[in-house]
């Protein structure tokens, strides 16, 4: 019964479909639900009463946790207002890992501060035995001169040749701005956002579940990274677009490793894949210089030789 859903985008109500999915069967569950902000979807009416919206959210969040494997993770994307309520429920049925800040401007909410981030709640089903992989993003560089933007000062020799480990604040992934890169959907997420979550929490061939798949972002990301997917959307038109999008996707591999690549730039890699990936990427001159200095220091330290190059 459940097998028939693998690598399918299903047209239907997520609560109904999830009832057919057994406990502990998907590796990660990611949800980007309607935010109840009166967005103009094709069919769905985004204007539930406050209590009605939260009661509905509680149902699908509980189902997401139920169907996630014990080694798996649960991610929920929303505006901070709703995430505070979600966290209250999730804290009782899963283990809090992070509130990931995705730095992206959202709609003004009225009198107070301008909202400038979305949150992604990150929970795991088990306290300890969950899958997690360190991930890295490329160093920020000046667009004009290409030099490193961060001043590492005397600590330059400590920097990683690809880039820093990702923290829980993501400022380098942008919303889809160009119309030509968008589908007919009011809130399509960028693929690199999903790829980062998938690289961080799953292995090849794992199952990525998304109850509100829209035009297929999480399924596309899963397919590019050689993961399986199950997606659901209540809107037939979005399901059709998602199916079309997914059918034309190919894997994005560097050697034997998977990476998130957007517009010919690597966006995210796993730390453990760097040794393989570095064989395929061009190392910039400044990083090459730092690496040479690092090697020289290491050789000198090991051989007790004097570093004449340091004499002014
Ligand atoms: C915020 S959008 C998701 C967008 C998606 N992440 C993407 O990148 O394309 C929410 C989606 O939930 C769908 N939806 C609303 N109620 C639903 C339900 N009960 N079951 C399944 N899908 C539903 C809407 O049609 C809409 O496409």
Average pLDDT, stretch 205-231? 98
The alpha carbon of 8 and the centre of ligand 1 are apart by a number of angstroms equal to 15
Q: Is the C-alpha dihedral spanning 177, 180, 181, 187 positive or negative?
A: positive
Q: Is 187 in the pocket of ligand 1 (CB under 6 A)?
A: yes
The alpha carbon of 45 and the centre of ligand 1 are apart by a number of angstroms equal to 11
Domain boundaries 3-137+172-278, corresponding CATH code: 3.40.50.150
Query: For 23-67, what is each residue's pLDDT tens digit?
Result: 999 999 999 999 999 999 998 999 999 999 999 999 999 999 999
Q: Which of 183-187, 208-212, 277-281 has the highest average model confidence (pLDDT)? A: 208-212
- What percent of the chain lies above the pLDDT cut of 90? 75
The alpha carbon of 130 and the centre of ligand 1 are apart by a number of angstroms equal to 27
The alpha carbon of 71 and the centre of ligand 1 are apart by a number of angstroms equal to 26
pTM of this prediction?
Answer: 0.93
Measured CA to CA, the distance from residue 221 to residue 242 in angstroms comes to: 12
Residue 288, pLDDT score? 87
Ligand 1: atom nearest CA of 39 is: 1
Q: Among 86-95, 114-123, 147-156, where is mean pLDDT lowest? A: 147-156
Residue 305 has pLDDT above 80, yes or no: no
Q: Is 99 in the pocket of ligand 1 (CB under 6 A)?
A: no
Q: What are the residues whose beta carbons fall under 8 Å from the beta carbon of 248, sequence distance 6 or more?
A: none
Query: For 154-174, what is each residue's pLDDT tens digit?
Result: 788 889 999 999 999 999 999
Q: Whose CA is nearest to atom 12 of ligand 1?
A: 212
Residue 125 backbone phi and psi in degrees, to 5:
-80, -30
Rg (CA), the chain: 22
Q: Is 13 in the pocket of ligand 1 (CB under 6 A)?
A: yes
Per-domain residue ranges of the chain: 3-137+172-278
Residue 307, pLDDT score? 63
Query: For 133-146, what is each residue's pLDDT tens digit?
Result: 999 999 999 988 98
Which of 194, 220, 234 is the best mutation target for the ligand 1 pocket, counting ligand atoms within 8 Å of the beta carbon and taking the most? 234
């Amino acid at each position: 019964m459940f097998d028939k859903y693998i690598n399918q985008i299903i047209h239907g109500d997520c609560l109904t479909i999830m009832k057919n999915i057994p406990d502990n069967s998907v590796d990660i569950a990611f949800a980007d639900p309607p935010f109840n902000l009166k967005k103009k979807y094709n069919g769905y009416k985004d204007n539930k009463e406050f209590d009605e919206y939260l009661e509905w959210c509680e149902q699908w969040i509980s189902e997401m946790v139920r169907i996630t494997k014990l080694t798996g993770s649960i991610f929920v994307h929303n505006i901070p207002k709703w995430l505070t309520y979600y966290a209250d429920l999730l804290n009782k049925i899963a283990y809090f890992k992070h509130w990931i800040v995705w730095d992206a401007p959202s709609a003004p909410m009225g009198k107070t501060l301008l909202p400038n981030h979305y949150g992604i709640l990150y929970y795991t089903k088990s306290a300890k035995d969950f899958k997690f992989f360190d991930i890295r993003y490329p160093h920020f560089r000046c667009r004009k001169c290409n030099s490193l933007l961060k001043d590492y000062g005397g600590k330059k020799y400590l920097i990683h040749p690809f880039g820093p480990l990702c923290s829980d604040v993501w400022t380098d992934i942008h919303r889809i701005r160009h119309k030509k890169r968008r589908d007919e959907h009011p809130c399509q997420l960028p693929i690199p956002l999903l790829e980062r979550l998938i690289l961080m929490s799953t292995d090849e061939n794992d199952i990525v579940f998304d109850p509100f798949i829209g035009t297929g972002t999480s399924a596309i990301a899963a397919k590019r990274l050689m993961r399986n997917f199950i997606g659901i959307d209540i809107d037939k038109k979005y399901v059709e677009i998602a199916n079309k999008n997914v059918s034309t996707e190919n894997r994005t591999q560097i050697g034997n490793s998977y990476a998130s690549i957007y517009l010919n730039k690597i966006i995210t890699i796993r730390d453990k894949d760097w040794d393989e990936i570095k064989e395929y990427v061009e190392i910039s001159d400044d990083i090459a210089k730092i690496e040479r200095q690092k090697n020289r220091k290491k050789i000198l330290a090991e051989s007790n030789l004097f570093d004449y190059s340091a004499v002014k």
